[in-house]
Amino acid sequence: MEELTEQRTHNVSSHTHFILNGFQELGALRPVLFLPFSVLLLVALWANWLLLYVVVSQRSLHSPMYVLMAAMACVNLSVPLFFVPHMLLSFLLDWRGISLAGCLLQMHLVHFVGSFQCTLLVWMALDRYFAICTPLYYHQQMALPRFLKFLVPLALRNLVMISVFVVLAGRLSFCSGVIAHCFCEHMALVGVACGDTSVNSLAGLLALMLIPIVDFIIIVASYVVIFITVLSSGASGSKALQTCVTHLVVIAVSLTVTLVALLSYRVRSSLPAAGLVFFSTMYLLVPSCFNPVIYGIRTAEIRRHVVKTLSCFRSGQTVNPS
């Protein structure tokens, strides 16, 4: 009996290497996924790089609002790089293996950097709040020393919450070495663990409540005050409200894909495994692809400089900062 117990313990704790088995249900058609995900990656990289280049190279865009857009572009540029290349190798060359350490590192990077997609929307909402509700003190409030009181607490919150559930996941024992996902998503890894994982589920739920939900509440509160201020100011405030439309569109897209991803985990029993993997992957990829496009279409200054930059690239000229 003791030998059998020792053998079981050894088998449970021996899984330090995993196979990422997402979209396995597609069988021989799985390599076909290389093409659409390659296109999504290229769109995300090119669009966000272009937005970032335009904001950095143009002095006229070095205002807080555009700097926050550039920060969002950095996030949207980074997140796909943490997991999509490995997915593409898996689709094309069937390279599905990943170590436990690599899995935890990927999980931390994806979730930590991805958490700033919501947090940056909070900072953008605060920027619009100061610009519309307290215009005389806007530059004073948005000066970096003062704005740090809004930046640092939320950044530290993200770091602590993500680190906690990643560390807890790393302390688990795993009954299976096969993860039904294309990258190391938190609940996908916890799903192959042995024993009680209620603490891990609680940590993930707390992270959900304290990051995207709290961020959403702050965003809603900011825009409620903004709308009240605009309505009370009459026609003069309607023009100021136009600057918020772009952020509201980005918020709507981000919230939609987030809700779809979260609901897919709640109704996983009625969804095929491939559908669950698809929704949780799109939750990270859709904002990376479409946020810079929305900024480029909706923001006149960025649109003008993007067109100018692309024209200069085609003609081989140097873009002059202005």
- 48-52, 54-58, 250-254: which has the minimum mean pLDDT? 250-254
Identify whether 92 is part of a domain. yes
Mean of the pLDDT values across residues 220-240?
77
Identify whether 135 is part of a domain. yes
pLDDT tier, 60 (very low <50, low <70, confident <90, very high otherwise): confident
Identify whether 241 is part of a domain. yes
Mean of the pLDDT values across residues 164-192?
91
Please say if the pLDDT value at position 83 is more than 60: yes
Those residues with Cβ within 8 angstroms of residue 2's Cβ, 6 or more apart along the chain or in another chain: none
Residue 58's region, left for phi above 0, alpha for psi from -120 to 50, else beta, is beta
Inter-axis angle of helices 236-266 and 214-233, nearest 10: 160
Is 229 exposed, middle or buried (CB count within 10 Å of its CB: 0-12, 13-18, 19+)? Answer: middle
Of residues 122 and 5, the one with the higher pLDDT is: 122
Please say if the pLDDT value at position 3 is more than 50: no
H-helix segments, 14-143:
34-57, 64-93, 100-133, 138-142
Q: What is the pLDDT of residue 46?
A: 94
Mean of the pLDDT values across residues 77-91?
94
Those residues with Cβ within 8 angstroms of residue 206's Cβ, 6 or more apart along the chain or in another chain: 161
Identify whether 90 is part of a domain. yes
Of residues 173 and 12, the one with the higher pLDDT is: 173
The pLDDT > 70 percentage for the chain reads: 87
Give the separation between CA 258 and CA 266, rounded to whole angstroms.
13
CATH number of 224's domain? 1.20.1070.10
Identify whether 3 is part of a domain. no
Nearest to 287 by CA among 23, 125, 73: 73
Structural domain for 305, as ranges: 17-315
pLDDT tier, 2 (very low <50, low <70, confident <90, very high otherwise): very low
Identify whether 6 is part of a domain. no
DSSP one-letter string for 40-58: HHHHHHHHHHHHHHHHHH-
Identify whether 155 is part of a domain. yes
The number of domains in the chain is 1
Q: What is the pTM of this model?
A: 0.87
Identify whether 71 is part of a domain. yes
CA dihedral 48, 49, 50, 53 (to 10 degrees): 120
CB atoms within 10 A of CB 27: 7
Please say if the pLDDT value at position 313 is more than 80: no
Those residues with Cβ within 8 angstroms of residue 118's Cβ, 6 or more apart along the chain or in another chain: 211, 212, 215, 216, 254, 258
